[in-house]
Chain A
Amino acid sequence: MAEAVVAQPAWVLLAYLIAGVCFILALRGLSNPESSRRGNRTGMIGMAIAVATTLALHHSAALAEIAGAIVIGGAIGLVIARKIQMTAMPQLVAAFHSLVGLAAVLVGAAAYLNPEAFGIAVRVTPIASPSFVSIFPQSRIEMGLGVAIGAITFSGSVIAFLKLNGNMSGKPILLPLRHVINLGTLAAILALISYFTQDQAPLVFGLIVGLSFIIGFLLIIPIGGADMPVVISMLNSYSGWAAAAMGFTLHNTAMVITGALVGSSGAILSYIMCRAMNRSFISVIAGGFGAVASGGEAAAIDRPYKRGSAEDAAFLMAQAEQVIIVPGYGMAVAQAQHAVREMADLLKAKGVTVKYAIHPVAGRMPGHMNVLLAEANVPYDEVFELEDINSEFAQTDVAYVIGANDVTNPAAKNDKSSPIYGMPVLDVEKARTVLFVKRSMGGVGYAGIDNDLFYRDNTMMLLGDAKKMTEEIVKALG
Chain B
Amino acid sequence: MDFISILSIFVLACFVGYYVVWSVTPALHTPLMSVTNAISSVIVVGALIAAAAAGVPGSKWLGLVAVALASVNIFGGFAVTQRMLSMYKKRERPGDKTHG
Query: In the complex the two chains form, what is the Cα distance from A86 to B81 in whole Å?
Result: 11
* A478 on the B face (CB < 8 A): no
Contact present for A76 and B34 (CB under 8 Å): no
**Counting CB contacts under 8 A, is A370 at the interface?**
yes
Chain B interface size, under 10 / 10 to 19 / 20 to 34 / 35 or more: 35 or more
A 250-284 contacts with B by CB, 8 A: 250-266, 268-269, 272
Chain B residues closer than 8 Å to A259, beta-carbon distance = 10, 13, 40
**Which one, A30, A77, A104, A111, contacts B28 given CB within 8 A?**
A30
Mark contacts of B52-66 with chain A using CB atoms, 8 A cut-off: 1 yes-contact digit, 0 otherwise. 111110111011111
Kindly list chain B residues whose C-beta atoms are within 8 Å of the C-beta of A232. 33
Asked whether, in the complex, the Cβ of B89 is within 8 Å of the Cβ of A379, the reply is: yes
- Among A43, A247, A360, contact of B35 (Cβ-Cβ < 8 Å): A43
A84 at the interface (CB under 8 A from B): yes
Q: A366 at interface (Cβ–Cβ under 8 A)? A: yes
Contact partner, A366, options B1, B29, B63, B80, Cβ 8 Å: B29
A434 located at the interface, meaning its Cβ lies under 8 Å from any Cβ of chain B in the complex: no
Contact A99 B80 (CB under 8 A): no
**Chain B residues in 8 Å Cβ range of A329:** none
- Interface pair A256/B13, CB less than 8 Å apart: yes
Instruction: Please determine whether A77 and B89 come into contact, CB atoms closer than 8 angstroms.
Output: no
| Complex CA–CA separation, A98 to B75 (angstroms) | 15
Q: Which of A21-67 contact B (CB under 8 A)?
A: 23-24, 26-28, 30-33, 36-37, 39-41, 43-44, 46-47, 50-51, 54-55, 58-63, 65-66
Segment 37-90 of B: residues with Cβ below 8 Å from A: 37-56, 58-60, 62-90
In the complex, A421 has a CB within 8 A of chain B: no
B71→A24 contact, CB < 8 A? no
Q: Which residues of B sit under 8 angstroms from A365, Cβ to Cβ?
A: 29-30, 33
**Complex: A199 Cα to B100 Cα, angstroms:** 62
Q: Report yes or no: A78 in contact with B40, Cβ–Cβ below 8 A.
A: no
Across the interface, do B91 and A73 meet the contact criterion of CB distance under 8 Å?
Answer: no
If A50-B42, A367-B26 touch, whether A379 touches B48 (CB-CB below 8 Å) is: no
Cβ distance A299 to chain B, nearest Cβ, rounded Å:
37
Q: Roughly how many angstroms separate A3 CA and B32 CA in the complex, as a whole number?
A: 38
Q: Which residues of A contact B18 (CB under 8 A)?
A: 264, 268
Complex: A135 Cα to B69 Cα, angstroms: 26
Residues of B that sit less than 8 Å from A by CB: 1-3, 6, 9-11, 13-14, 16-18, 20-56, 58-60, 62-92, 99-100
What are 13 A-B contacts defined by CB distance under 8 Å?
A33-B90, A41-B82, A55-B48, A69-B51, A69-B71, A72-B68, A111-B59, A138-B3, A256-B6, A365-B29, A366-B32, A379-B92, A382-B91
Given A28-B20, A268-B18, 7 extra CB contacts under 8 A = A30-B32, A62-B60, A72-B71, A93-B37, A259-B10, A260-B16, A262-B37
